[in-house]
Amino acid sequence: MPIEITMPRLSDTMEEGTLVKWRVKAGDEVASGDHLADVETDKATMELQAFDDGRVAVLAVQEGDTVPVGSLILMLAEDGESLEDAAGAVQGASAGSGSGTTEAASGGVAVAAPPATDTASAASAAAGAAGGSGGGASGGRGGRQRVSPVARKIAEENGVDLSGIVGTGPDGRVIKRDVLAVVEGGASASASATPTPAAQAQSPSTPIQSTPSTPASPVGQLEAKTITLSGMRKTIARRLVESKTTVPHFQVTVSINMDPLLELRKTLNAQLESQGVKLSVNDFITRATALSCVSHPVANSSWAGDTIIQHGTVNVGIAVSLPEERGGGLVVPVIRDAQNKGLRLISEDTKRLAKKARDTGLSPEEMADGTITLSNLGMFGVDQFTAIINPPQAVILAVGGAIQKPVVRDGQIVIGHEMCVTLSGDHRTIDGAQGAEYLGTFKQLIENPAALLI
């Protein structure tokens, strides 16, 4: 019996998901645990894994498609079951439902073709399995153009004529990247090729006023474009607006002498180099963040409406920026039980989670249960900034860079490294004086970093 794989609910607030990239194709053998696809939720791009063994019979959605949770996205044929039978089950269900997956019956899905003895018969079988005659535009047979919902939306928003676009998706389907290529690369060509209404109305006898040419600008050319928000971007926008409009923020800033910590880090990394360990400044900051929460539990609290929850462990969320190819934005992997972890383990956890966030995406569990958040822009050369609280947490720390500057040490002006840290607090949960006391402990730990090794 065919095995249906539907769009899973990968987060507690997920209502729909976007199939970013298929990692399998029709006809592939898959086993439980295999990486089937990358799915973008409202929070992050995550791996979709198989929970059964089988062969891929049908890819029911295309890359770039956004479908509701519970919608069929892939059909597996069980061991001993023919791919044609599995594909037929999908097409029968689609034709009967009359909604959602109707396109599956008319060629909008990738279906595994039965074995063939030569190329021609293989092509014929594949076309038949994909929905019969008139189902698609591939194979030179013509028919209606297939366009993914995301691609059609982008085209409508940017005034792009879909009829002239050759799709690069499965079976010639026009997908998101095809339309974006026209939007991003074809604006100038369209402008020069298509006369404006004013130009068309101008009589040929009307003299055209020439303008003196200007020298080419040495800077790059800007282009106007509309960017469709991903599900994760929408969620980030919604949560940030919610935080700034419903949480009474206050900020407290402290300047910290970083010279002792930088010296200790240099010594430790020289000793650990042979073991392949390299501690970052952020590892020390994460450790200090957690230990300071032990001394000031109010900073490790959450607002719960008519109660305040003080947590029994410190789970430090670390903001990680994603590359544009993964949709951009921020995710917050969590270092759990951070108050009981040494620098080396904190370093290992942070590197592993940050790499996974940027490469394949984090699981909901890896982003859950944070009790305090750390945002560090120091590596970008930022001196000081403020961060927006991640509800229901009470505190977020905004960490600037260790900037070399003239400073006063023991009554003398010398060159030293100073770092600004700004605490943003939820005034319903933590008071300004309590925030200042927390930062006082944090500053003491950073300026006396040997305490972080205990």
Q: Report, as residue numbers or ranges, the catalytic residues.
A: 427
Distance CA 186, CA 340 (A): 55
Find the length of the chain.
454
Distance CA 298, CA 283 (A): 23
Cα 196 to the chain's mean position, in Å? Answer: 39
Max intra-chain CA distance, the chain: 88
> What residues contact residue 24 under an 8 Å CB cut-off, 6+ apart?
30, 34, 36, 37, 56, 59
Neighbour count for residue 331 (Cβ, 10 Å): 26
- CA angle (327, 330, 334) in 5-degree steps: 130
Distance CA 139, CA 373 (A): 54
**Tokens representing residue 270 in the block:** 């020289």
Distance CA 195, CA 211 (A): 18
302 beta partners: 309, 393
Amino acid at 378: G
Contact 62, 103 (CB under 8 A): no
Nearest to 116 by CA among 27, 46, 202, 201: 27
Tell the residue number behind the tokens 């799915």, with chain if given.
Answer: 39
**Tokens representing residue 332 in the block:** 């917050």
Q: Is 130 helix (H, G, I), strand (E, B) or coil?
A: coil
